[in-house]
């Protein structure tokens, strides 16, 4: 009986220590500056204190296109709150404007953002950069990456985390 109690206490201590360690090891989001389609400059470091969703996408990505209506709905739900939605893309403004005529996207779009993509992509062991589209980086109010994901159907998880971050910041 005593040994079971010792094992349970040890397990509890290890679990608590792991949770504390995990909270303290969040990576800071790589700072970047970019110019929006309307010509405004956005600097990630200047957005500390807000929740920021950075969504890498492409006009040539069918999954990205299918996610845009859900992303627009999520952005509308947080309008007027301390949440910023950024959408860097490697596409040029002409291609983006053509795409937006049939696919409105309510994020701050940052064209020609290959340099930003390089800061967030994971290089493999050969140095090739990898980043699946769409790619999501949710940055908390402290400027740390709270969630990193790519691919289809991440919107519900992102929405839940944004709500949690906003509630924790109150």
Token pair for 59: 């006009």
| Contact predicate 141/57, CB 8 Å | no
For the stretch 117-143, pLDDT in tens is 999 998 888 888 888 899 999 999 999
Percentage of the chain with pLDDT > 70?
Answer: 84
pLDDT at 126: 85
Question: What does the mean pLDDT of the chain come to?
Answer: 87
pLDDT above 80 (res 110): yes
Query: pTM for the whole thing?
Result: 0.82
The predicted model gives 97-103 an average pLDDT of: 97
Average pLDDT over residues 158-170: 90
What is residue 152's predicted lDDT score, i.e. its pLDDT? Answer: 86
* 3-state SS assignment for residue 99: helix
Closest listed residue to residue 54, CA positions, set 40, 69, 38, 43: 43
| Euclidean distance between CA atoms 105 and 35, whole angstroms | 16
What pLDDT shows up at residue 2? 52
| pLDDT on residue 24 | 47
Question: Tokens 């709150």 correspond to what residue?
Answer: 81
User: Domains along the chain?
Assistant: 28-168 (3.40.30.10)
pLDDT per position as a tens digit, 1-34: 554 443 334 333 434 433 433 344 589 999 999 9
């Amino acid at each position: 009986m005593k040994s079971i109690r010792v094992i349970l206490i040890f397990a509890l201590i290890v679990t608590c220590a792991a949770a504390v360690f995990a909270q303290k090891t969040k990576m800071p989001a790589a700072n970047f500056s970019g110019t929006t389609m309307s010509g405004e400059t956005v600097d990630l470091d200047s957005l500390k204190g807000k929740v920021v969703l950075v969504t890498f996408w492409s006009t040539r990505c069918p999954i990205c296109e299918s996610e845009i209506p859900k992303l627009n709905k999520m952005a509308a739900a947080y309008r007027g709150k301390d949440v910023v939605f950024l959408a860097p893309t490697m596409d040029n403004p002409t291609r983006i404007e053509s795409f937006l005529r049939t696919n409105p996207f309510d994020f701050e779009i940052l064209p020609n953002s290959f340099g930003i993509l390089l800061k967030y992509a994971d290089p493999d062991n050969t140095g090739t950069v990898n980043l699946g589209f769409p790619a999501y980086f949710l940055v908390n109010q402290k400027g740390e990456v709270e969630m990193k994901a790519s691919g289809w159907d991440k919107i519900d998880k992102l929405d839940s985390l944004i709500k949690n971050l906003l509630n924790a910041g109150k």
